[in-house]
Amino acid sequence: MQYSISHVAKMAGVSARTLRHYDEIGLLAPAAVSSNGYRWYGRSQLRRLQRILLLRDLDVSLPQINAILAGDDGEASALRRHLMLVTAERDRLDRIAATIVRTLDDLEGQDRLPDEEFFRGLDAGRAQLAATLQERFGDAAASTLQIAAARTAHWTRSDYDQAAADGRELYGRLSRTRQSGVDPASPQALDIVAEHYEAVHAMWPVDPAAYHALADLIEGDAQQRGVVGAEDRHLPPWLAAAIRAYAIHRLDYRRP
């Protein structure tokens, strides 16, 4: 059975304009186009659209989705990968929600949150990041987190709060720069990304190649994308492009 573009749009909760755009960029072609220009979609197109929308819910960019789907070796394996991404994101949000609840109880005097409990979530996040770095960039990249851990070993809760506030302030300025239409490879963007590089380097001694690779992590890892895009979901791809440009133009990184 085939469905019209308006029927598919209604079923999927998207606009017909979105479906036409997906067709124009080669992401989702209709099964057939009639002589009067009407687009028609079959079951295989509906399954592909479902996968596209699953990835969009994870804030994966359209070019990335195209690349992911082009590399799929079967619908079942693709859906298993999507399930892993969704499950990882759900678990991350569950941990954040649990920490927020415990912190609210602490602030409201209902249940004093022990300091070691406060840092438990930070340790779990650091362990997850180390595992991600090791998987993506090898043992050398993951091992550098030990240096970062040593540098923050003496930190108190107020030190972490200040670091978080500084990070939010920087991401806020980066977001405003993006929203003003500044090209991520422009000198203006690179000047503010320099602050991001210095902040990262102070905690994690990245070389130019590792800083360039950090862009992939910000775009592709749900945890890091969630941190960067907490207030602006369009910031991660912009910042990733700016980081790549900074590594090339300011750190003299050369692709191998």
| 61-97 residue pLDDT tens | 788 788 777 765 555 666 666 667 677 777 777 777 7
Q: pLDDT band for 6, please (50, 70, 90 cuts).
A: very high
Instruction: Output the average pLDDT for the chain.
Output: 79
Phi and psi (nearest 5°) for 131?
A: -65, -40
User: Within a domain: residue 235?
Assistant: yes
Contact 102, 117 (CB under 8 A): yes
User: Within a domain: residue 85?
Assistant: no
Q: Does residue 238 sit in the same domain as residue 155?
A: yes
| CA angle, 194 then 195 then 197, to 5° | 65
Domain that holds residue 232: 132-249
Q: What is the CATH number of the domain that holds 211?
A: 1.10.490
User: Within a domain: residue 115?
Assistant: no
pLDDT of residue 226: 82
pLDDT of residue 45: 93
Looking at the predicted structure, is the pLDDT value of residue 235 above 70? Answer: yes
User: Within a domain: residue 15?
Assistant: yes
User: Within a domain: residue 139?
Assistant: yes
Q: pLDDT band for 229, please (50, 70, 90 cuts).
A: confident
Q: Does residue 163 sit in the same domain as residue 234?
A: yes
Q: Does residue 64 sit in the same domain as residue 136?
A: no
**Closest C-alpha among 68, 52, 57, 44 to residue 18:** 52
Q: What is the DSSP letter of 33?
A: E
234/61: higher pLDDT: 234
pLDDT of residue 87: 74
Looking at the predicted structure, is the pLDDT value of residue 4 above 60? Answer: yes
How many domains does the structure of the chain reveal? 2
- What is the pLDDT averaged over residues 100-119? 56
Give 166-173 contacts, CB < 8 A, sequence gap 24+: 166/199, 167/199, 168/230, 168/231, 170/195, 170/196, 170/199, 171/228, 171/230, 171/231, 171/232, 171/235, 172/231
pLDDT of residue 91: 74
199/127: higher pLDDT: 199
- What is the pLDDT averaged over residues 109-138? 54
**Closest C-alpha among 219, 198, 212, 205 to residue 254:** 212
- What is the pLDDT averaged over residues 106-111? 55
Contact 35, 69 (CB under 8 A): no
114: which residues sit within 8 A by CB, 6+ positions away? Answer: none
62/140: higher pLDDT: 62
pLDDT of residue 125: 54
Q: Does residue 224 sit in the same domain as residue 139?
A: yes
Q: Does residue 54 sit in the same domain as residue 140?
A: no
Q: Does residue 167 sit in the same domain as residue 237?
A: yes
User: Within a domain: residue 91?
Assistant: no
Q: Does residue 139 sit in the same domain as residue 238?
A: yes
pLDDT of residue 214: 85
Q: What is the CATH number of the domain that holds 7?
A: 1.10.1660.10
User: Within a domain: residue 114?
Assistant: no
Q: At what angle are helices 43-57 and 5-12 packed, to 10 degrees?
A: 40
Q: What is the DSSP string of 2-22?
A: -EEHHHHHHHHT--HHHHHHH
Amino acid at 173: R
Q: Considering 70, 95, 123, which residue would you say is the last residue of a domain?
A: 70
Q: Considering 70, 93, 111, which residue would you say is the last residue of a domain?
A: 70
The fraction of the chain above a pLDDT of 90, given in percent, is: 33
pLDDT of residue 88: 72
User: Within a domain: residue 105?
Assistant: no
Q: Record the tokens describing residue 46, joined without a space.
A: 């509906």
Q: Does residue 43 sit in the same domain as residue 150?
A: no
Q: Does residue 138 sit in the same domain as residue 49?
A: no
Q: pLDDT band for 195, please (50, 70, 90 cuts).
A: very high
Q: Does residue 62 sit in the same domain as residue 147?
A: no
Q: Does residue 147 sit in the same domain as residue 45?
A: no
Q: Considering 39, 55, 70, which residue would you say is the last residue of a domain?
A: 70
pLDDT of residue 105: 63
